[in-house]
Structure 1
Amino acid sequence: MPILMLVIVGAAAGFLATRLMKLDADVPTTIAIGVFGALIGGLVLRALITMAGWAAGFVGAVMGAMLLIWLWRVWSARR
């Protein structure tokens, strides 16, 4: 069940992050960005802030997805 929630929250966070960062991505890429962003941002945010509930995870997921998009743009610009 937690994996299903990770995919659902990751998909929502990936969608929001790709819109905020103005990245045109297909659905699987958007979900992957959100899931990996949720892992990165959720861990970082939960370590820094002790908020209760899913709000901390969702905010962290969006921030992590935005960080991942930024890193991808920096890395692909160097190629």
Structure 2
Amino acid sequence: MSGSEILVVVAAILLLFGAKSIPEFARFFNKGMRELKKATSEIQKEIEGYTADISDEISDIKSNLNKEIKNIDDEINPNSK
């Protein structure tokens, strides 16, 4: 949020609820932001876990393919060592 947007929100809260409710609203807003950050962090960690598993599988497949290619190359060109 930009500064002007925050100012408009604060002014609206003042008009609707009065000055006494600003601290309560701020606590509610901060709690919501903390929960949102926590949720996004958990989602990011879960996605990273899935991609790490996939990356490990791809590395294993690549390694196996390279070994097979070397074996085939050795069979085709036995004197190339």
Query: Normalized against structure 1, the TM-score is what?
Result: 0.37
Pair member with larger Rg: 2
Identify the structure with bigger relative contact order (alpha carbons < 8 Å, sequence gap 6+).
Answer: 1
Query: Normalized against structure 2, the TM-score is what?
Result: 0.36
